[in-house]
Structure 1
Amino acid sequence: MIENKLWSAIENRRSIYSIDDKIELSNKEIKDLVDFAVKYVPSAFNNQSTRTVLLLGDEHKKLWDITKGILKEIVPADAFKNTEAKIDNSFRSGYGTILFYADDAATKNLMEQFPTYAEKFPGWADQSSAMHQFAIWTMLTDKGLGVNLQHYNPLIDESVRKEWGIDENWRLIAQMPFGRPTGDAGAKEFKPVSERSIVFE
């Protein structure tokens, strides 16, 4: 049972692979949405290690052209046609991409401050990034956009770093293309919640 708008937004968040660039949101509205999540999504020890890079319009398309160029060098020629079609129709065809990074310098600083937990901080930083991804994905969906999440790192890391002058301490975690949805997500099967959620009363 859907009890409030947040529940509905979470339920509707799905991977949408058919997108185009004809969106109604302004660049400022998209940036404000991303900035809101960056500010308010939590992190362990208030580390605030998540970093984002918002690529819009031609800059977004450039990212996927770079990705295709890298993949063309390593994917067999007979398979690359399908790879290129997937990128062109599900990622590059959108309006923008959000790059999610973790600032390893911030994490290292906490590792030095709290050596007892040192080995835990990298994992906690990744968990915080995941929360940012989920929050932004859900908010974009709530605004009527189609979104999916990709992981072409580490293949594209260095090329992306050089193209946009990304800090060397930032570690690329994920890429989130988005745009106007032009197709549905399709049916999704769920394992019984009773097998995944336990309560003791």
Structure 2
Amino acid sequence: MAETRVSRAERQRQTRERLIEVAREMFLAVGYAGTSLDKVAVEAGFSKGAVYSNFAGKEELCMAALDVIHAEKIRLVQQVFTEETSLEARLKSFVEWSRSGLGEPQWTALEVEFAAVARHNPWVASELVKRHREVRRLIGQLISATIEEADLETTIPVEHVATALLALGAGLGGLRALDPKVDPDVFGVVLAGLVRPRRGTDGAQ
């Protein structure tokens, strides 16, 4: 009996992952409005009932798809900032990542379209707020660890730096989605301007 339960749980996990994978491709290709649960079910090889047994509706499915995208982006950023290199090298790697990681037209368009749903859906709004706060927390952790290792400090509180960088990233993403020539080097410039050598404990500034 235990083996049957595990088998069912595994099948459900595989079904859920397949639905998210297909939904992600569709949401990116044709947008939130252009994607239907019927189309996702057919493309994934399941019934519409399988979709509803895993997700309450299209909003929850889109949130799950965006979670996968965000997890990938965060993993890459964490990878850049935990490299065994100098701070300057990490900033350079981060800017290089931002050239392809920010402003992807399909991803940016989906983020904007789904954010608009939050105006009329309190659940979407609250879930997006939770995720934005978590991203800011993770950015703050990365900044704190990086500047500590480099014996630097931020010119404003770390949480404010994290908020500023998240806002800058969102804004740059939107701009680059429309105009790929927008230079992402501003990321490194802004971050470099928000840190300074740590003030000595002997009173030196």
Provide the TM-score with structure 1 as the length reference: 0.27
TM-score (norm 2): 0.27
Greater fraction of residues in helix: 2
Higher strand share: 1
Q: Which has the higher contact order (CA 8 A, sep 6+)?
A: 1
